[in-house]
């Protein structure tokens, strides 16, 4: 009997090779890049298949959808439980759910949600690693702190730094870096400046707030992860390249 590798496993190997190649070409160690498999719309069985193929970091973009799947997956995995990343917009009333279910939050996109997450984290005695989601491209449809003109517009930059300072002061959260979603385009080279500017912003934050390492840059998805890795991504969030196309998302 011929046992064929699962498509997820094949896809995963290809993605890992592409990440490694992009890292090496940029003079980076591929081990610096964490692959977060974005499992939104896929059921626990598929996530377990991905676990079996070796994945240990999973991302969801809707707090409730993940909250339903996470306990099922955690209970079924044969080894250490995976790390769960919240990568999508969080409504204020979902902050407690996020604190209960997720290990890392990439999508802190406003001071108010940071304050809510902080409150619930303190209540349950956790310190949650978080990233500040930045709207680097200025697209009106995107969440995130407005930083599209941070280099040339001192007022915008200072407004962001002030909110950043307020978030850094919150208990129960540990700010580890920045996250962004690049504009949709079929030419990945066009998004390179977006990633480069997020990295430059990170460097500016490092100067302003040197108490923190600002080590994480979460950037790069199926269509643009190689460019993101070349520009310094430490976390790439990949769905379709591993799991195939998603069914119609509501
Ligand atoms: C869906 C999603 C991803 C993954 O997108 P793909 O194009 O499927 O790789 C990454 N980040 C966020 C915030 C997402 O919502």
8 Å CB contact between 72 and 107: no
- Return the closest-CA partner of residue 46 out of 246, 247, 243: 243
Cα distance between residue 238 and residue 19, in whole Å: 11
Q: How far is the CA of 219 from the centre of ligand 1 (A)?
A: 10
Using alpha carbons, list the distances in angstroms from residue 127 to 95, 97, 168. 14, 15, 12
Atom number, ligand 1, closest to the C-alpha of residue 222: 9
Atom 6 of ligand 1: nearest residue by CA position: 239
8 Å CB contact between 125 and 149: no
Atom 7 of ligand 1: nearest residue by CA position: 222
Q: How far is the CA of 84 from the centre of ligand 1 (A)?
A: 14
Using alpha carbons, list the distances in angstroms from residue 211 to 80, 171, 205. 32, 15, 10
Is 41 close to ligand 1, i.e. is its CB under 6 Å away? no
How many other C-beta atoms can be found within 10 angstroms of the C-beta atom of residue 4?
A: 7
| Helix orientation angle between 7-25 and 44-52, rounded to the nearest 10 degrees | 60
Q: How far is the CA of 220 from the centre of ligand 1 (A)?
A: 9
Q: How far is the CA of 125 from the centre of ligand 1 (A)?
A: 30
Atom number, ligand 1, closest to the C-alpha of residue 107: 13
Cα distance between residue 243 and residue 37, in whole Å: 9
Is 144 close to ligand 1, i.e. is its CB under 6 Å away? no
Atom 10 of ligand 1: nearest residue by CA position: 237
List per-residue pLDDT tens for the chain, 250 residues long. 566 666 999 999 999 999 999 999 999 999 999 999 999 999 999 999 999 999 999 999 999 999 999 999 999 999 999 999 999 999 999 999 999 999 999 999 999 999 999 999 999 999 999 999 999 999 999 999 999 999 999 999 999 999 999 999 999 999 999 999 999 888 878 899 999 999 999 999 999 999 999 999 999 999 999 999 999 999 999 999 999 999 865 4
Ligand 1 pocket mutation pick from 180, 185, 237, 247 by most atoms within 8 angstroms of CB: 237
Q: What is the model's pTM?
A: 0.96
User: 196: which 2 tokens?
Assistant: 């480069």
Q: How far is the CA of 85 from the centre of ligand 1 (A)?
A: 12
């Amino acid at each position: 009997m011929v046992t064929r590798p699962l498509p997820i496993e094949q896809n995963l190997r290809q993605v890992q090779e592409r990440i490694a190649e992009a890292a090496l070409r940029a003079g980076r160690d591929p081990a610096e890049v964490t692959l977060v498999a974005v499992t939104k719309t896929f059921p626990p069985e598929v996530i377990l298949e991905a676990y079996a193929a070796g994945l240990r970091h999973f991302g969801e973009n809707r707090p409730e959808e993940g909250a339903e799947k996470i306990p099922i997956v955690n209970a079924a995995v044969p080894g250490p439980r995976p790390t769960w990343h919240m990568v999508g917009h969080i409504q204020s009333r979902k902050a407690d759910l996020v604190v209960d279910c997720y290990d890392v939050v990439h999508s802190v996109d406003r001071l108010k949600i940071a304050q809510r997450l902080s409150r619930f984290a303190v209540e349950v005695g956790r310190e949650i690693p978080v990233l500040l989601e930045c709207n680097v491209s200025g697209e009106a449809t995107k969440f995130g702190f407005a930083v599209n003109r941070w280099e040339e517009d001192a007022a915008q930059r200072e407004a962001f730094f002030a909110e950043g300072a307020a978030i850094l002061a919150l208990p129960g959260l540990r700010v580890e870096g920045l996250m962004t979603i690049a504009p949709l385009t079929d030419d990945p080279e066009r998004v390179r400046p977006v990633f480069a500017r997020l990295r430059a912003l990170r460097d500016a934050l490092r100067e302003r707030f040197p108490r923190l390492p600002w080590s994480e840059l979460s950037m790069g998805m199926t269509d643009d992860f190689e460019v993101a890795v070349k520009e310094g991504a430490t976390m790439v969030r990949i769905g379709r390249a591993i799991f195939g196309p998603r069914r119609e998302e509501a």
